[in-house]
Amino acid sequence: RTEKSSVATNGGGARAFRAPGHPQGAFAMDSLMDEIAEKLGIDPLEIRQKNDDNQIRQDEYVLGAKEIGWHRRRKISGSDKGIKKRGIGMGSGQWGGGGGKGTKARVSIHADGTVEAVTGTQDLGTGIRTVIAIIVADELGLQPHHISVKIGDTAPGLPSGGSGGSQTTASVAPVIKTAVVTAKSSFFEYLAEQIGQSPQDLVTKDGKVLTKSGEEMSWQQATAHLGMDTITEEGHWAEDLREGGAAGTQFAEVEVDTETGHVTVIKIVAVQDCGLILNRLTTESQINGGVVGGLNYALLENRIMDPQTGRMINSNLIDYKIAGPTEIPEIKAIAFDTDQKVTGIGEPATIPTAGAIANAVYNAIGVRIRSLPITPDKILTKLSEKGKA
């Protein structure tokens, strides 16, 4: 039975973290998994491999363990010699990211060769304009800079699902793909009739339209056959576009100074299920950003409230700590891509980080910190208690 009560504070309203609720749950679950493994005398990686039914994550375990050098992990936690002790740990995560209903998009091919893609979605800084341009350009054999992308306007009757929950790309990409495929098909039917070819004999490549018989024309020459007409087609969301979840795993190596309690993260390997990768640079950037957010959650971010007044007393970036250049470790982002789905990854890369760091800290010093952030005072207190035991 649980009893709860509400208390008014002056600390400001709660706001969502990346992957709300998931980093917290994953931290607890991964800590527990390592504790169970230790009691059973099983390697933490092995116990996950034996009990995890997610095949993508099973493959990710192998990649991540190899990259971090899991074989170097000390079998007896806390057995490293010296004041500064190193440890290796791992964590796992799962996120939805499967897209949302209601999204529509429109692709138009004009007689002057311009191509326009329109949808009501928003760009929160995650690069959805680039994603849309890449999808349309790839289908039409053009370059992304040739595509005019217009977003944020629902007036044309093109609603879009919300941009929260890492759903933007997952919602928009399949619909844009449907729209451009349909527009291309309609254009080929129109063009084939004009030039006496079969639509099935036409292909686009490198800014040209090619025929099976070997004839070719530039994209602009081909679209000029439209005259006063424009090819416009819409794409609509279908439930079968949704594929379940984005699985990820992370491995962390840390160094703990047992005199000061300071934790230095040496390296984090993040293997993240990304579905079909539409832009590798932005994908890896999202993974890096998620890992840094998870590191903040694990070691630094902490809202301190005055128990007498209920006010937040560290509401500035001097006292409210976040990672800077000296705290951010080497991050190896491994984008695990498949062609089975398009998924959003703005949030899932944050989920496993805290658990991986916490387990690495335990492997280094042999005492477990059960609350976040893992601060020097908590480490020194636990080490002191261990020394007295």
Q: What are 243's two structure tokens?
A: 């594929």
274 and 284 in one domain? yes
Do 268 and 159 fall within a single domain?
Answer: no
C-beta separation of 113 from 226 below 8 A = no
Residue where a domain stops, chosen among 241, 268, 299: 241
**Domain of 137: which CATH number?**
3.30.365.10
DSSP 342: B
Range of the structural domain that residue 346 is part of: 22-97+243-388
Give the β-pairing of 147-151 and 115-119.
Answer: parallel
Residue 125: in which H helix or E strand, if any?
Answer: none
For residues 52 and 66, give the distance between their C-alpha atoms in angstroms, rounded to a whole number.
18
Q: How many distinct structural domains can be found in the chain?
A: 2
Among 51, 84, 157, which Cα is nearest to 364's?
Answer: 84
CA neighbor of 75 nearest in space, from 363, 387, 346: 363
Q: What sign does the CA torsion over 53, 56, 60, 62 have? A: positive
Contact present, 156 and 118 (Cβ < 8 Å): yes
- Using N-to-C axis directions, what is the helix angle for 353-365 and 280-295, rounded to 10°? 50
Residues sharing a CB contact under 8 Å with residue 285, sequence separation 6 or more, in sequence order: none
Give yes or no: residues 295 and 376 share one domain: yes
Q: Are 113 and 209 in contact (CB under 8 A)?
A: no
From the list 283, 272, 285, the residue with the least C-alpha distance to 336 is 272
Tokens in use for 146? 């040739």
Tens place of pLDDT for every residue, the chain, 389 residues? 889 888 777 767 777 778 888 999 999 999 999 999 999 999 999 999 999 999 999 999 999 999 999 999 999 999 999 999 999 999 999 987 667 677 899 999 999 999 999 999 988 877 889 999 999 999 999 999 999 999 987 777 888 877 777 788 888 888 999 999 999 999 999 999 999 999 999 999 999 999 988 899 999 999 999 999 999 999 987 765 555 678 999 999 999 999 999 999 999 999 999 888 878 888 899 999 999 999 999 999 999 988 888 888 998 999 999 999 999 999 999 999 877 677 888 889 999 999 999 999 999 999 999 999 999 999 999 999 988 65
Instruction: Identify the domain boundary among 241, 269, 285.
Output: 241
- Tell me the H-state helices in 196-334: 219-223, 280-295
Residue 229 and residue 275 share a domain: no
Q: What does the block give as tokens for 118?
A: 């329109």
d(CA 50, CA 45): 9
Question: Kindly report the CA angle at 172 between 115 and 277, in degrees rounded to 5?
Answer: 90
DSSP string, 16-64: PPSSTTHHHHHHHHHHHHHHHHHHHT--HHHHHHHH---HHHHHHHHHH
Per residue in 141-156, pLDDT (tens digit) is: 999 999 999 998 777 7
For residues 347 and 367, state if they share a domain: yes
β-sheet with 216-218: strand ranges across: 202-205, 208-211, 216-218
- Shared domain for 219 and 265, answered yes or no, is no
User: Alpha-carbon distance 63 to 44, whole Å?
Assistant: 16
Residue 60's contacts (CB-CB under 8 Å, 6 or more residues apart) are 247, 248, 249, 271, 272, 273, 334, 336
Domain assignment present for 9: no
Domain boundary among 241, 262, 283: 241
Same domain, 249 and 327: yes
